[in-house]
Amino acid sequence: MADNQRQVTHLGERDCSIQRRHQKVLEEAPCPVMTKRLRDKMGRAAMRAAQVVGYSNVGTVEFLLTPGGQFYFIEMNTRIQVEHGVTEMVTGIDLVKESIRLASGERLGSPRRQLEINGAAIECRVYAEDPHTHLPSPGIVTNHHSPGGLGVRVETALYDGYRVPVHYDPLIAKVIVHAEDRAMAIRRAKAALREYLVDGIKTNIPLHLQILDDTDFAAGQFGTDFLGRFEPRLEVVSGRRAKAS
């Protein structure tokens, strides 16, 4: 976040490694392999980038992180991102409100708020697509029932009778959960997804449950190639191509 007087602060990181064809599928905060030293170093780099270009308002600086702990700048998104909810859940800061406030010329305030990350948050992007082939699944939504309860937040425009078109992004809902730690957040996300009912179309909810059940995901050991293990694999058998299980 930055104001017009070039005061800048950062709100920690989001891990967006779970993606398919550069399309994010699941995001979380904090990153499971982040250390305080790395967070401080990465945060300073992000703030410096905003200051150098004179940026003001809320934005996201994206980096690639190597297994060795080096990070490299990718781009800056000068807007509120789809996954902003996980940052809100772990910091208690309304980013949309802050964006409007900063756009009106208000200052960040002094002294700057010390960054505090409270617990862990996970966002599952629910897409209208076949969970196995990833083909779009347009149609009319029936029997829509979103999950609820402690630490569960759902953002969607779905309702019974809603027609999902084929022409746009397949994102139809965001299931965001918050808990005291990452293990509890994973359990809460699985419970919320199992409770989520969307009939009439196919969704990628089964894929999310596969991800959340994966032992490497639970251990925080994954990269941008993670979803490849759930993709249909082709192998040659007796001169013919067949799908491997």
Matching residue, tokens 């759902």: 154
The active-site residue out of 48, 79, 187, 194 is: 79
Q: 79 catalytic, yes or no?
A: yes
HEC profile of 161-229: CCEECCCCCCEEEEEEEEECCHHHHHHHHHHHHHHCEEECCCCCHHHHHHHHHCHHHHHCCCCCCHHHH
Around Cβ 18, how many Cβ atoms within 10 Å?
A: 22
Q: Among all residues, which ones are annotated catalytic?
A: 79
